[in-house]
Chains A and B, each alone.
Chain A
């Protein structure tokens, strides 16, 4: 019996590992579509960001209530995974609660602690479900949240609740079997929460209890495998991506736009400034600005996989607040959807697409509405930068497609002819000094 279940477990584990590796590789190749970027600057500061912002969730605490609930789920998730380690070892070796004899008197308190966490996670998930579906939190009701995005958010919470319930029922049935003196269930001592659940299962025959305990065990571990795989297809991927993403996020002031050194030599030549050294040729397929995900940087693409669609960016966006089409969250979701689409086409040579991120997913109306105020960047708890993508798309419109709004073209022209964005004569620039002197 034990051998069969060990084999089944190992096969399931193998299948899980296969699919996870395949999916991780898919995501890795998608991110690699982007332009490689040099990571410059202070490693210390980067690690500090990882510790404070990803691990410590510092920026979440701008909204204290969801931050606390989120932290509880997060701590629960991480610590309960220690128990998953035991479950995997048991499944692999055919043992039962392999840590119990090792930890002896500490085992029951440890499991009790996990059980408390499980209850806390259930509680937080229920509150989050209410928040998403009953309370009116505007950012969960935006157009980009229709359909899958909304379902995804709810599914994750429901799955987490089910997984936690499975742990508790498994432990309750286990303790009943222990009390009956079943040799396969050595005494561990009482578990704090599940011991309260024992009356629910009391009165069942030992064979039924055995089935309940085993079913919960299998359900829990297969559920966790399934959930982990699901996460990689879901917005929930932030639980892993937050770490590299905070590490690679930019350290320069938010106001500094990404430089564009590729055109500097040409500008110098136009101005008659001597250019030092050889000008490296433009990289293959180089565009002025970005039309598709392959023109964006790898960090931009990593941002898209990190986004958990919380919508704090959109809730702070002045354009969105005043009813414009622009939503920074949608910029990130579109970027990810476009990457996934290109990724699928990679394995299917029959897919030819004539689509681009700009035009096919994100419209000019959206990018033109941005005030570059950095509210979205400031709001993001995991250092995603939607503004950087918007500005690169604008560069494409201005420098490749001649697609800037007419008033901007007029402003460009004023700059060229008058060295000011308005139609004033350069000769009048210093008039204010005479006005001031004559005031007196």
Chain B
């Protein structure tokens, strides 16, 4: 398959506006592990043939980490600059794999003049499955033997009440879905939200990601499914810390779909 990754700027030069902007996010652009999720999602978009584009070098941080760490000046600077770009390109719909970008774009940009329909990739993938564009029911024999547990991202779940979409995506894979004791509204954070990703934890008796990884490993699942770049890092580190990286994988929803579609 010939992969196309159009930029919004290139389309604008032809006088076109993409139906969907894929907001990649900083982790999706720079994090070695998480870039794979970006690639998987782009492959899916290519397979489905959606009219999408990315900002590419024009994308910048949404400002979320600055805002959670208390620096609202910096947040608003970032947000305003992004809104100017997005409005300039007349973007209507944004899809992103990062729940932190999702939350900020959806809930915090409107008050600064950025009004878009913002969709998280879990919801988007569920829609694609419902429309029969990816994953044909019953065809996923390779996943029949797999046991998957889903780790809720706080910024998807409690912050935005999205609990079902990622689970629907996993159910479509036909794998066995096992819930952790603390799930959905009671899901335990991976430990990286609220700016924690960018600093060491305060003094305590345990790291949050270890507590969560232990809980995930208790389910005996062979795959910990995540839908957030921070959760990806924290859970992967946890699995390594427990020396289980040989038997347990941490994978994003998009990667699982791409894998089952053999993309």
- Which chain A residues have a beta carbon within 8 Å of chain B's beta carbons? 62, 252-257, 259-261, 263-264, 266-268, 270-271, 273, 288-289, 316, 318-319, 321-326, 365, 368-375, 377-378, 391, 394-399, 404-405, 407-408, 410-412, 415-416, 419-422, 424, 426-433, 435-437, 439-440
Q: Is the CB of A261 within 8 A of B111?
A: yes
Beyond A398-B71, A436-B39, whether A415 also contacts B63 by CB under 8 A is: yes
Interface of A (DSSP majority class): helix
Residues from chain A with a CB closer than 8 A to the CB of B186 are 62, 316, 375, 378
Distance, CA A398 to CA B69, complexed state (A): 7
Greatest chain A CB density within 10 A among B5, B42, B185, B199 is at: B199
One of B28, B195, B211 near A408 (C-beta < 8 A): B195
Q: Is the CB of A404 within 8 A of B69?
A: yes
Known: A323-B203, A426-B57. 11 other contacts (CB 8 A): A62-B186, A255-B158, A260-B72, A273-B84, A318-B191, A319-B208, A371-B154, A371-B189, A411-B69, A428-B29, A440-B3
Q: Is the CB of A412 within 8 A of B69?
A: yes
Residues from chain B with a CB closer than 8 A to the CB of A431 are 29
Q: Is the CB of B196 within 8 A of A429?
A: no
Q: How large is the interface on B (under 10, 10 to 19, 20 to 34, 35 or more residues)?
A: 35 or more
Distance, CA A259 to CA B63, complexed state (A): 13
- Which chain B residues have a beta carbon within 8 Å of chain A's beta carbons? 1-3, 5, 7, 24, 26, 28-30, 35, 38-39, 42-43, 54, 56-57, 59-61, 63, 65-74, 76-78, 80-81, 84, 103, 106-108, 111-112, 154-155, 158-161, 185-186, 188-189, 191-208, 211-212
Residues from chain B with a CB closer than 8 A to the CB of A437 are 3, 5
Greatest chain B CB density within 10 A among A255, A266, A394 is at: A255
Beyond A259-B108, A323-B205, whether A371 also contacts B191 by CB under 8 A is: yes
Chain A nearest CB from B145 CB (Å) reads 27
Q: Is the CB of B108 within 8 A of A415?
A: no
Residues from chain A with a CB closer than 8 A to the CB of B208 are 318-319, 321-322, 371
Chain B nearest CB from A256 CB (Å) reads 4
Residues from chain B with a CB closer than 8 A to the CB of A371 are 154, 189, 191-194, 196, 208
Residues from chain A with a CB closer than 8 A to the CB of B30 are 420, 422, 424, 428-429
Residues from chain A with a CB closer than 8 A to the CB of B161 are 253
Q: Is the CB of B74 within 8 A of A415?
A: yes
Greatest chain A CB density within 10 A among B7, B57, B107, B189 is at: B189
Q: Is the CB of B66 within 8 A of A440?
A: no
Q: Is the CB of A399 within 8 A of B73?
A: yes
